[in-house]
Amino acid sequence: MKKANVCIAVLALVAGIFASSCDSKKSVKLNNGLDSASYSLGILNGDGFRKNITTVPGGSVNIDLLLAGFEEALRDENAKTKLTMEEANAFVQEYFTRVQAEEANKTKEEGDKFLEENKAKPGVITTESGLQYQVITEGTGERPTATDRVKVHYTGTLLDGKVFDSTADRGEPAEFGVGQVIRGWTEGLQIMPVGSKYIFWIPADLAYGERGAGQDIKANATLKFEVELLEILK
């Protein structure tokens, strides 16, 4: 519910942004301080919310209808709106809940299908939990335990190949407790000797599950990580 409420606010703000700039034929004239303040508010809101319209699930938002509803509500033209405020709020709540559930189910089905096909490939090992891994380089050092801290290089990608996190991009390895990360990492790191490089394919229930993480990792997403275990930190 909270996510839907946030998105309602985002839509309203984004609508205001587009309303101030959608007609390129209109020239902006700032005749006084209030005009400048009004225009400045549009710029400030636009800078902060320009990209958030892409978070609305189900496809691209119909900008024309969004602007129509926004302007009618902004001008308090209640007689023109096709929905009351209560009806609009109830519909958006239901829409976000339904579409997000549909997308989560689709993502899980895609992940399950991928893992089923991937486990049959040469060199891929599947553990009892469902974690899959492949050895790229086998190190000769000791294996960490769940209570150890480690230093690693890694790159995390979605199944479509999009990189969502990479220590290489940041220019330095990461350090963390083996037991302080997602379950797939905790299990996988304890399999690796120091000096190893593995690929892990982590099912959603061993990753971020139904909640997802950030804008890139959707609910029920299966994740791929290339991990190099550099050191156990003493």
Place of tokens 């996190």: 165
Question: Is 63 considered catalytic here?
Answer: no
pLDDT by residue for the chain (234 residues), tens digit each?
444 444 444 444 444 444 444 444 457 888 888 988 988 887 876 565 556 666 667 777 776 777 777 777 777 766 677 778 888 889 888 988 898 899 999 999 999 999 999 999 999 999 999 999 999 999 999 999 999 999 999 999 999 999 999 998 999 999 999 999 999 999 999 999 999 999 999 999 999 999 999 889 999 999 999 999 999 998
Q: Would you list the domain boundaries of the chain? A: 2-82, 110-233
- Exposed (0-12), middle (13-18) or buried (19+): which is 59, by Cβ within 10 Å? exposed
Q: Which of 95, 164, 191, 216 is catalytic?
A: 164
Question: Is 53 considered catalytic here?
Answer: no
Question: Is 39 considered catalytic here?
Answer: no
Kindly report the pTM of this predicted structure.
0.72
CATH architecture group of domain 110-233: Roll (3.10)
